[in-house]
Amino acid sequence: MPQHALPFRRHNHQHCIADALAAARALAKARGLRLTLQREQVLRLIWQNHKPVGAYQLMEQLAELTGKQVAPPTVYRALEFLLEHRLIHRLNSLNAFIGCACPDTGHAGQFVICRACGIALELNEASVRVPIQALAQSVGFQIEQQTLELSGLCPNCQTADAITEEPS
């Protein structure tokens, strides 16, 4: 897994946004893609924190940012582009999207999602991915997309939970 800031630790989040936009621009240039202002704005909004965000939430935030109403198809087209080029991931359990820290490499993501604060972290561990692929192949199944979503408590929420628990 690449060494990125862990979302539940204090860090300069502007670096996350800047790195994501720089990676998107480099990828667009290398592949001859049009990374429009609107696509960049949606990507920036997705990266504004490490919490998955839904399409309608993005639509509202984009309207606030631009001062204009934004139609759902506009946001969905931007999301489709960002998904197609692996700049973001869709978390099906939340019907939401999160930025991809490694858009230049194809990978199957594993996500840990804090059920208390909503922060999500992408992991990319071959030691998890490979046995799942082998198991699928053993029954003749070809995996086209692999996303594993794990729900629980991040270190901060575990600590907060322990503090608020009353002794038995």
Q: Is 117 a known ligand-binding residue?
A: yes
Q: Is 100 a known ligand-binding residue?
A: no
Per-residue pLDDT of 59-75, as tens digits, reads 999 999 989 999 999 99
Q: Hey, where are the domains in the chain?
A: 13-164
For 6-15, 44-53, 108-117, which range has the lowest pLDDT when averaged over its residues?
6-15
More reliable by pLDDT, 154 or 107: 154
Query: pTM (2 decimals)?
Result: 0.83
Tokens of 60: 């509202």
From the list 93, 95, 94, the residue with the least C-alpha distance to 76 is: 95
More reliable by pLDDT, 165 or 111: 111
Task: Tell me the H-state helices in 85-118.
Answer: none
For 8-17, 65-74, 97-106, 125-134, which range has the lowest pLDDT when averaged over its residues?
8-17
Q: Average pLDDT in the 40-49 region?
A: 94
Tokens of 58: 């993005």
CATH number corresponding to 13-164:
1.10.10.10
pLDDT value of residue 130 = 87
Binned at pLDDT 50, 70 and 90, residue 159 comes out as confident
pLDDT value of residue 30 = 94
Show the CA angle centred on residue 129, arms to residues 98 and 3, nearest 5°.
55
pLDDT value of residue 145 = 82
Identify whether the C-beta of residue 112 lies closer than 8 Å to the C-beta of residue 121.
Answer: yes
From the list 47, 39, 53, the residue with the least C-alpha distance to 14 is: 47
Helix, strand, coil shares, percent, the chain, to 5: 45, 15, 40
Binned at pLDDT 50, 70 and 90, residue 1 comes out as very low
| Other CB atoms within 10 Å distance of the CB of residue 53 | 22
pLDDT value of residue 12 = 72
User: How far separated are the first and last CA of the chain, in Å rounded?
Assistant: 40
C-alpha separations of 144 from 97, 107, 133, 136 in Å: 19, 11, 10, 11
Per-residue pLDDT of 109-158, as tens digits, reads 899 999 999 999 998 887 888 899 999 999 999 988 888 999 999 998 99
